């Protein structure tokens, strides 16, 4: 049996009309997914705009327009951000000291201990914030792990020439 393209096209059109679609109209995966999501949502959530819509974009734009001085979390988090900035600058200094032939390992270790003190201060300020972003907590955790790792390396003698 030979299948001709015109027969195949007629069969596809017939299949679309039986499923409720119009011939020539592409229903698309996006529509099926959105309908499935809408059916699963409670009625209170269905009134919110979807992430791809224009209304959603305008809500995000309006939220971004608020000035940093008006946000209480930003005002109270400024000392924390300064501490984190200082820690990152000290990390940069520490890495330069490790690569420098004129800096002793004791000076480098003192810098590492300074980083550790600043991290403890930043951790304390983070706990004082009401609504601290979890990203800052994870950043502080990673920095503390790096400090501990470097301290072990120095004590083990990895940086001795």
pLDDT tens column, 80-128: 888 889 999 999 999 999 988 888 999 999 999 999 999 999 888 888 8
Q: Report the pLDDT value the prediction gives residue 23, as an integer from 0 to 100.
A: 46
DSSP 102: S
Q: What is the mean pLDDT of residues 64-93?
A: 71
CB 49 within 8 A of CB 59: yes
**pLDDT tier at 9, thresholds 50, 70, 90:** confident
Give the integer Cα–Cα distance in Å for 142 and 136. Answer: 10
Stated as kind and residue range, the H or E segment containing 80 is: helix 72-99
Q: What is the CA angle 26-30-35, rounded to 5?
A: 105
**C-alpha span between 82 and 125 (Å, rounded):** 11
* Cα–Cα distances in angstroms (integers) from residue 54 to residues 7, 28, 47, 58, 59, in the given order: 42, 20, 14, 6, 9
Mean pLDDT of 17-37: 66
Note the pLDDT of residue 74: 46
pLDDT of amino acid 92: 94
Burial of 13 (0-12, 13-18, 19+ CB in 10 A): middle
> Tokens for 38?
């809408």
**Residue entry with tokens 């608020």:** 66
CA torsion 144-149-151-156 (nearest 10°) is 170
pLDDT of 115: 94
């Amino acid at each position: 049996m030979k299948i001709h393209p015109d027969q195949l096209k007629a069969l596809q059109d017939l299949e679309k009309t039986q499923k409720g679609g119009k011939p020539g109209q592409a229903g698309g995966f996006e529509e099926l997914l959105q309908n499935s999501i809408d059916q699963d949502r409670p009625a209170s959530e269905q009134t919110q705009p979807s992430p791809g819509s224009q209304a959603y974009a305008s809500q995000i734009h309006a939220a971004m327009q608020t000035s940093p001085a008006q946000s209480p979390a930003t005002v109270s988090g400024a000392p924390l951000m300064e501490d984190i900035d200082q820690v990152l600058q000290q990390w940069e200094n520490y890495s330069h000291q490790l690569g420098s032939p004129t800096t002793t390992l004791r000076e480098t270790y003192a810098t590492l201990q300074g980083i550790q003190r600043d991290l403890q201060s930043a951790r304390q300020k983070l706990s004082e914030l009401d609504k601290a972003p979890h990203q800052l907590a994870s950043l502080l955790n990673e920095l503390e792990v790096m400090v501990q790792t470097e301290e072990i390396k120095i004590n083990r003698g990895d940086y001795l020439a």
